[in-house]
Amino acid sequence: MADLTQHEWTSKLSVDENAVILDVRTPEEVAQGIIPNAIAIDIYKGQGFIDDIGKLDKTKNYYVYCKSGGRSGQACGVMNQLGFKSAYNLIGGFTDWQGEIASI
């Protein structure tokens, strides 16, 4: 797992052909906007989160974010324990996001 600033996160993401953006916020938070092309899996689902994460392709590179960077850091740690190739945590999360935002 690596903690990346928004500049580092977006720069790496822009050239990564094996990238998946993962939003681990609650459905209520996601309803306020989401980074385009992100998939949302609520980390607060507990075992449901582990189950859903386990269905993802472990060979992909995951760019993970939450509201401020705490939950996404935890999610990256879980993903590492589950054998994912790489997970990058967005420092500052959606709160500090300066890029494009999509609606759900």
**Which pair of tokens denotes residue 65?**
């974010």
Options 21, 34, 66, 87, the catalytic residue: 66
**Cα atoms in the 13 Å half-sphere on the side-chain side of 56:** 27
- Is the four-CA dihedral 64, 69, 72, 76 of positive or negative sign? positive
Q: Could you give the angle at the alpha carbon of 72 between the alpha carbons of 40 and 21, nearest 5°?
A: 45
Q: Is 76 tagged catalytic?
A: no
Residues with catalytic roles: 66
